[in-house]
Structure 1
Amino acid sequence: MTPWPVLLLIEVMKATDTRAARGLFAAIALLGVGAVALSQASDASLETFVSSVGIPLTVLLPVVAVLAVTGDWNGRSALATFTQTPRRLLVLTARLVAIVGLVLGVALVTAAAAALAFVVLHPDLLATTDWWAVTTAAGGVVALAVAAALTGTAVGSLLLNTPLAIVVTMLLPLTFDITAALLVPTAAPWISTLAFAAWLAQPHPGWADGPGDIPGAGQALTSLLLWVVLPLGLGWWRQLRRDVS
């Protein structure tokens, strides 16, 4: 049986040691530079630099998770993986932990690079920096990363098809939420694909709608159950029973 630390390391290496993954990390870096450049064009502040990387991360971080989840099945290496560690649930758990850690690490490095760019470009503005706003922006990046990792893992586990899972993770959130808001506006906040990530970025104890457009804890919970727990559970059940070859 493969020891747990080794299993985690293997999953991280499998998630990063492909041309697709390296290309994706390069795209994140390039888009991060673009986001910082746009922040530079507006009123520069440390919190805007840090939060600016959220736009490319929102799109690309779930794809990192999808590639990590579906790689075994699309690359026909599942047989080797589950032969070396027959306890599939252990492998799937290690994969989930590795993906969350990897995605969070990528997000934090990107945000740190943006912060460093601000320090280099605007050292004179550090004295007037609102550090609470910076902390809030960094917390938003962390929340985004965790939500992206969980969502990408759930969709990838359920579909086990890389192209289809990527399309779904990129298109479903906005299209579903917009459609729900038009057709069932009362229920839309409770079935939103984005409620969990939004609440995680700005948590508060209220059960229903919070201040502004922030979802309540109950809406975040239903979002988590519908779009992470349910597809992840079904996906794991499918992988636990699926034949490998």
Structure 2
Amino acid sequence: MLMQVPPYGFGDLTRKIFQRESSSHYETMEFVRKNAANFLSLANLVMGLSSVLCTLNGSRQCAAWLLLVGFMLDLADGAVARQLNACSALGAKLDDFADFTSFGLATSLLLHSNSLLDAMLVIVYVLAVFTRLCFYSSGIPFMYRGLPCPYASAILACASLLTGSHTIVLRAIAVIMVLFMIDQGFYPHDKVLESQLWKKVVFAGGVVMMFCSFSPLACLYHLVWSMSYILFPEALWSFKL
């Protein structure tokens, strides 16, 4: 004799639907938590690719602004990953690929012209960024070896905007940035969003100036910020809680 299974009551059905929705919501939130930093790295990658397209279309000002946006995204993605406990090997690779695209390829194209000298400088700059990202591990906690390429990119982007892409100025700055990147000097880990309050204010000020005022003042702000990291790395930007 077959036993008949009583149908679910309305209360049981409602509870099962609620549990299913809660489980789906939790899975969605967990996915967002684990990949929030990756989304920022992808956004940085998109900024770099967009900057390349802008440069190829002759819109160098737009290309430089996109690099500064990528600079801000790069400073945020590591902090977000650590705060959400979502660091992963995939995230590290994605961050390096985004950095190489934005701060290597896209930045080097700001130097591009019909000159053979500039073409060679573009290749040297890209190789310097590649070397910096692949082989310059300091082995010391909270320290970089060689100037981090986002700061070199920010300085070049600001110089391009403030000088109207002046060829000689950009060449000189690019050579200096290459020397800093392949140098054996140490630079502190710039955990801007995880350190003193004033550093967080500097970051917030950069975001406000970028999105509220695409002006020479915003360029000057980021230029001073980046230069201070190069000139006073330990005095100003060493990692402190």
TM-score normalised over the length of structure 2: 0.39
Higher relative contact order (CA 8 A, sep 6+): 1
Higher-Rg structure is 2
Of Structure 1 and Structure 2, the greater helix share is in: 1
Q: Normalising by structure 1, what TM-score?
A: 0.39
